[in-house]
Structure 1
């Protein structure tokens, strides 16, 4: 896998085609991101960075999220990739415990020691590849065309859901929304808060995704 590009280079490239005002905002954001790269949490989510940025006179969370804030997002992505992570908000200690406990519950439900060992190995492999995928996402600007994938699904439910309703459902199960609420989605589709309390029952997220 190619090494991530130095964020300082990205900064200069972005500033070379930006207005004086945007250049100032980019450099302020750059300093904040550099400081964040030295923290233990390595939290490069737009919510966190936007809050820190606004406190120091830089672009706000909403400004970064806007379509016109693409250059800010690119700079955040560059620093996240350089730090070996992504813009996705890191799981809290409690959320990690919930995921680990769920894996442990699966293993404990298997009586056969051989099968248990195999499943344990598969879980470990899954976790490894998931981490690698997150790093790959941080190092690639991927545009996914979902037109052919989503249009038939919307048509199939057109009698019940309007486009606005479909978009609302999509937003309700989006990773960014879950991160902002500090909720964790379990493999069963169940949603729990950071204290392990059930927010939505099992099957909720999976069912919504099938609808949209």
Structure 2
């Protein structure tokens, strides 16, 4: 059976896009429905997130639509990781993972359906150190879900930005991925069915 490679890429791309949209939809469903609260309660929650005492004295940035803090300065009482027994080459990743766990509940060292993955670190030997994480659910990267950790030269947290898909949304996406396999069965049959629907299938 001869398949058009462009068509195959289109089919696979469409399937992955569907998974991405499921995650985005799950996030929106997991976000608080502010219509069920009065305006005073909404403002109170925003103020609680924004006006947290920070080491810099600056205010955090809170997205009311998402119901998430998207930029957070280190708090005045922020705990620090113990790095005494950690080798020099592993201190950045160890410290960043510690702060990631404190801020999001996720960790690249822990298994699970939703997994944070350290993509890269930015360290010029001077100035701030930045660790960038992406998020995967059942091995599939979730589009536009990333978290950044900024530290000083002593590995103290300076600030963080971004947000991850919630555990609730991750469970929804995992179910969708399992349903895809159950609905389409064998991969070759899935591709044949897709080409048949498009009228582009060719056989020898």
- Fold-level match, TM-score > 0.5? no
Q: TM-score, normalised by structure 1?
A: 0.22
Q: What TM-score comes out, normalization by structure 2 length? A: 0.23
Q: Which has the higher helix share?
A: 1
State the structure with more CA Rg: 2
